[in-house]
């Protein structure tokens, strides 16, 4: 078991604490949550789709896209905030009487969101780039439009190192040709700092932009102006002012496009889209790996005899890649959402399809904090192509949904108690499928009890039970098949009067109890005990390790204490559903508990 507390042997003084381990647990939350999987749909009777998905600080998700069913008129920007299980926290629409679309969303450092897309209701004419800033509840704080009298479209938004934003897409109002790549640099509030266009006389456009470590930017999309023929993949590298440093094209005599790109760990680039020049069928997923100056390292195609394409790519923690898109070659029929996992040289590790016929497509993918993946897109379509729902798929690390996973039994820190002193703590576990969990132990100390449903352990050692006890706890779900997780806890029982504090009083147990209730909805109680009067800090952190609120910071007396947390941050604002960490520090000793907030 990972030791988060002090191990004390009978008759010995307090030993070194594992504070560093506690801090690493807070700052590296990948293992803090068991892998959750689900499929969710959102919408009504018309067309909805999700174009961009990101995991939020509390472990939930934010999805931007399009809705025909809700809003002010035509189609509107659609923003959905969910918890970690995909249940809706709130939804918002933005737009006017005409059509709007939200292509890209990012969480802001203040907990709000920034959305980039298109609007035909506002701006200078035709379609204009549409930038929306919201607070944490999705309420509009400010909007901006950018463009001219023709059609100008945003496809990608990224926050820059200086706190502003960079937006990439297409422009028909400016540039050298029918449409050109359009790059806009803004300040924190969305005011334009500069704009650039790239391309030739035919049509060119960008679907992705990101900042590079040198302060410049790379853009990826397609070009009809340059390359081998038809439409080619287009990669542009600029300096911090948007001036071109180099460009590259990739493709054959037919058509290719990149809809997604990312900078890789080795400083190069990975691009994903489709190709009709290469591959096995009508169109194939096209994956291109380059070095740091855009020269091709390798290319791969994936697909069958029908149409297949890639919409989104990310490098994964193992150095490989995850690609989301669409396939007509495989799956249940029609077009299915397609998820492909590759190794670091593009060789297929596994592929998965999702959907039940008609049309399903994945437009955005992210690796999640638990090591799985989340994909946003749409499902439905049908032969008449008039209805679809926004589709959110959360998978485990193998791309599987609906497979039973073992619960995660949280570490119960080692603790010390004196003879004839009451000791209690509550075991806590989380199940990815939310199955009921039963707690057990193969061998409890004499006189100890464990509530199998609630996980409450209780024990008052008698005057003959001094010593060290290693107790095994088991959490078992009721899934099919039933799966379990096991942890060991060391309980040290000291003799009364043999070891004491500086006043000669019996040693008291020092612990941080599991909050109750857990999970909780509006407030929860947190109990802790310290052996002597000393400075104590009790803080709440989110899943990223960021401080949410300090509940206590000062000197407290020896004994048991209780505080409550009302689910608000240090500014008094309600925080969202998710996993949080309660961290207690008392001099050179520390413990951490995981808590689940469900609004």
Write out pLDDT tens, residues 572-587: 999 988 889 999 999 8
- pTM exceeds cut of 0.75: no
Helix (H, G, I), strand (E, B) or coil at 543: coil
Helix (H, G, I), strand (E, B) or coil at 522: coil
Among residues 437, 374, 371, 378, the alpha carbon closest in space to that of 404 is found at: 437
DSSP assignment letter at 240: T
Burial (Cβ within 10 Å: 0-12, 13-18, ≥19) of residue 440: middle
Which pLDDT belongs to residue 328?
Answer: 95
**Structural domain spans, the chain:** 19-28+405-597
Which pLDDT belongs to residue 420?
Answer: 87
Q: Per this entry, what is the length of the chain?
A: 599
Which pLDDT belongs to residue 99?
Answer: 96
Question: What is d(CA 179, CA 166) in angstroms, rounded to the nearest whole number?
Answer: 19
Residue 442 burial (CB count, 10 A): 9
In the predicted model, residues of the chain with pLDDT beneath 70 are 1-34, 381-386, 497-509
Percent of the chain clearing pLDDT 70 (strictly above): 91
The DSSP line for 304-336 is -SSBEEEEEEEE-TTS-EEEEEEESSSSSSSBE
CA distances to 95, 130, 166, 254, 435 from 100, rounded to whole Å, are 6, 8, 20, 32, 40
Which pLDDT belongs to residue 504?
Answer: 40
Contact 410, 437 (CB under 8 A): no
Our measurement of the distance from residue 82's CA atom to the centroid of its chain's CA atoms, rounded to an integer in Å, reads 11
Name the architecture of domain 19-28+405-597.
Sandwich (2.60)
Which pLDDT belongs to residue 29?
Answer: 36
């Amino acid at each position: 078991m990972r030791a988060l507390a002090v191990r004390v042997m009978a008759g010995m003084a307090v030993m070194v604490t594992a504070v560093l381990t506690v801090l690493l647990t807070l700052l590296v939350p990948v293992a803090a949550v068991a892998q959750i999987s689900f499929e969710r749909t959102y919408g009504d009777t018309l067309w909805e789709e999700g174009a961009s998905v990101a995991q939020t600080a509390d472990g939930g998700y934010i999805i931007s896209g399009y809705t025909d069913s809700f809003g002010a008129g035509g189609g509107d920007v659609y923003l959905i905030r969910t918890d970690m299980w995909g249940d809706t926290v709130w939804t918002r629409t933005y737009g006017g009487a005409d059509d709007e679309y939200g292509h890209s969303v990012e969480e802001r450092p203040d907990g709000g969101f920034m959305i980039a897309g298109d609007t035909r209701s506002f701006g200078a004419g035709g379609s204009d780039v549409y930038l929306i800033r919201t607070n944490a509840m999705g309420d509009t704080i400010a909007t901006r439009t950018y463009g001219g009298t023709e059609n100008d479209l945003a496809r990608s938004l990224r926050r820059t190192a200086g706190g502003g934003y960079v937006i990439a897409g297409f422009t028909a109002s400016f540039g050298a040709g029918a449409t050109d790549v359009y790059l806009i640099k803004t300040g924190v509030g969305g005011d334009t700092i500069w704009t650039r266009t790239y391309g030739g006389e035919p049509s060119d456009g960008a679907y992705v932009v990101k900042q590079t470590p040198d302060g410049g930017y790379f853009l990826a999309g397609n070009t009809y102006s340059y390359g081998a023929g038809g439409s080619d993949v287009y990669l542009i590298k600029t300096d911090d002012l948007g001036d071109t440093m180099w460009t590259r094209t990739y493709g054959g005599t037919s058509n290719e496009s990149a809809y997604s790109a990312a900078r890789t760990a080795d400083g190069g680039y990975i691009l994903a889209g489709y190709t009709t020049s290469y591959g096995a069928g009508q169109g194939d997923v096209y994956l291109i790996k380059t070095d740091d100056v855009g020269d091709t390292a390798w290319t791969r195609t994936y697909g069958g005899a029908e149409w297949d394409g890639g919409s989104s790519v990310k490098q994964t923690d193992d150095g490989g890649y995850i690609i989301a898109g669409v396939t007509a070659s495989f799956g249940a029929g029609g077009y299915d959402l397609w998820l492909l996992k590759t190794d670091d040289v593009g060789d297929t590790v596994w592929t998965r399809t999702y959907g039940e016929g008609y049309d399903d497509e994945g437009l955005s993918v992210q690796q999640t904090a638990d090591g799985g993946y989340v994909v946003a897109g749409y499902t439905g379509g049908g032969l008449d192509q008039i209805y679809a729902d926004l589709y959110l798929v959360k998978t485990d690390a193998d791309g599987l949904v609906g497979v039973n996973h073992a619960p995660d039994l949280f570490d119960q820190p080692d603790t010390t108690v004196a003879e004839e002193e009451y000791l209690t703590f509550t075991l806590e576990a989380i199940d990815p499928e939310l199955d009921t969990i039963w707690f057990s132990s193969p061998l409890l100390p004499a006189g100890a009890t464990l509530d199998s449903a609630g996980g409450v352990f209780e024990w008052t050692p008698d005057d003959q039970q001094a010593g060290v006890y290693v107790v095994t706890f088991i959490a078992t779900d009721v899934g099919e098949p039933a799966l379990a997780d096991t942890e060991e806890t060391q309980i040290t029982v000291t003799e009364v009067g043999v070891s004491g504090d500086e006043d000669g009083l019996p040693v008291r147990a020092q612990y941080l109890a599991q909050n109750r209730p857990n999970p909780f909805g509006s407030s929860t109680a947190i109990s802790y005990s310290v052996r002597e009067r000393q400075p104590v800090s009790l803080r709440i952190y989110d899943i990223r390790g960021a401080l949410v609120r300090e509940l206590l910071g000062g000197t407290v007396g020896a004994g048991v204490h209780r505080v409550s947390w009302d689910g608000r941050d240090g500014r008094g604002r309600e925080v969202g559903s998710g996993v949080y960490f309660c961290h207690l520090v008392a001099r050179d000793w520390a413990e951490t508990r995981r808590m689940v907030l469900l609004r």
